[in-house]
Structure 1
């Protein structure tokens, strides 16, 4: 029945709305991670490439993020409900459910892999679109190449989900929901924005590691300690692991604010039917 899949449907819709709003900002952050450049330099790079390339690579994140957020909310709910009936502490229940959902989300790493390659200017002429990239990786390197950079994604997904749901549930309990729709939306946006921005800032170095591991096609797979050493050696400072974090903070505020409002709105609509 619909009620069984409500959390999945709401998560999917909320993420799709969010991606279309924040994709250009994502692209600027990606270039900062990749080239260790300032915001202005990254914007100039993209402006130089023209409008035709601005939404290039939007399909993988649109598919990945909508399915990912659908799994995040849906599986969290599915895992949490049976565990709540046990004698487990409520916080442990939430952490276990969130980490399980985050680990399941990690099967979507191939989408992040393709997105990295499509956003990298080195492959603009070599890899035309998502279909072309999938075909090239499959024919030349096989399934394992799609999962390059899996470890930092596992390090990020479960713990950041636990952080998000614990803080979100606390905030929802502590801040009473206003009756008026504008007030309610503002409340939901603020909760989503603050918590999303906090979690994504804490786990930002995992994304830097992931992009670093995924920038190459073929060759040996880097371990996390080796990738950390390599980034440090190339960039000469621990600050490099947070290059682009200010924009990422802004983007996460908007992203998770939009996702939270859209999710709660869709849930309300589905519940009323």
Structure 2
């Protein structure tokens, strides 16, 4: 009876760890799976992302945001898609790969305690923030329709950043808004990884098709994470959309400005949250399902070679 309480996913994890005892458990497979799953989901959800960003910056309704993009013309609808595609691919590579590597380092043969999940989540969020903040910074400037005339391309944005001087390039350029990004990424990865596997294991025990637990756990878990962190997401978007040496508000000033923009009511800061939930649900549901599918396929091939 005790063995029946272990889900197939847990058994797969334990067998994978036991295959190479004593070896460094820094699996390159986790990096590849993260890259593939995130790039696919990003391409599918980019239109939703752009509408959400306009809501966060201009505090407008969904219909108004869609109308604004329509009036700008179809040539601008996918403006900047290459940067989020690249950054999200790198994000998946770093997030899943670093998390898996740190988890294996903290507990090479398992089982993984909640503390191990938290530590690995925080550290992977830190790596992600350091590596990808510049990509997000440039993307948020490009997405702001108010800056299309002054900064029509990535090159014009980078040229502005590079004119600030060494410290200015970091604090007011590439890494402006870094601290809320770090908080968002660390908290987000910790919540996602801490609750994804238990939820997926519980659903798997219900006898559902293999892809359903991964899809549902990724979607539900990221939806909850998004609801918790949404005010921080709005703050990041507003901070990173600012440009110019003289017009760079501090973290506290940016938070006050966002608070005043939303009428000093927390519920109003969730305007546009429905689209964020939809995008995150689809993105991370697909990401989790694809990753789980490819992981099972890879393990099956290894078992066939062993036999």
TM-score (norm 1): 0.91
CA distance in 2, matches of 1:264, 1:196: 16
Alpha-carbon contact 2:223-2:280 (below 8 Å) kept: yes
Cα shift readout 1:134-181 (whole Å, capped 9, x = no counterpart): 23322355233110111111111111111111111111221226888x
Q: SS of the residue aligned with 1:55?
A: coil
2:256 maps to: 229
Which among 13, 28, 43 is matched to residue 20 of structure 1? 43
RMSD over aligned Cα atoms: 2.5
Q: By how many angstroms is 1:85 displaced? A: 4.8
CA distance in 1, matches of 2:29, 2:41: 18
CA distance in 1, matches of 2:254, 2:278: 27
1:130 maps to: 154
CA distance in 2, matches of 1:103, 1:86: 25
CA distance in 2, matches of 1:123, 1:23: 20
Which among 161, 186, 191 is matched to residue 212 of structure 2? 186
Q: Which runs of 5+ in 2 are unaligned?
A: 1-23, 303-307
Aligned positions, number = 271
Alpha-carbon contact 2:25-2:108 (below 8 Å) kept: no
Q: SS of the residue aligned with 1:219?
A: helix
Does 36-45 or 171-180 show the bigger shift? 171-180
Alpha-carbon contact 1:232-1:240 (below 8 Å) kept: no
1:206/1:14 CA distance change after superposition, 3 Å: same
Alpha-carbon contact 1:177-1:184 (below 8 Å) kept: no
Q: Which runs of 5+ in 1 are unaligned?
A: none
Tell me whether 1:33 sits opposite 2:56 in the alignment.
yes
Cα shift readout 1:2-38 (whole Å, capped 9, x = no counterpart): 9821001100110100111000000000000000000
Alpha-carbon contact 1:178-1:184 (below 8 Å) kept: no
Cα shift readout 1:27-56 (whole Å, capped 9, x = no counterpart): 000000000000110011111112111110
TM-score (norm 2): 0.81
Instruction: Work out which structure has the larger RCO, using CA pairs closer than 8 Å and 6 or more positions apart in sequence.
Output: 1
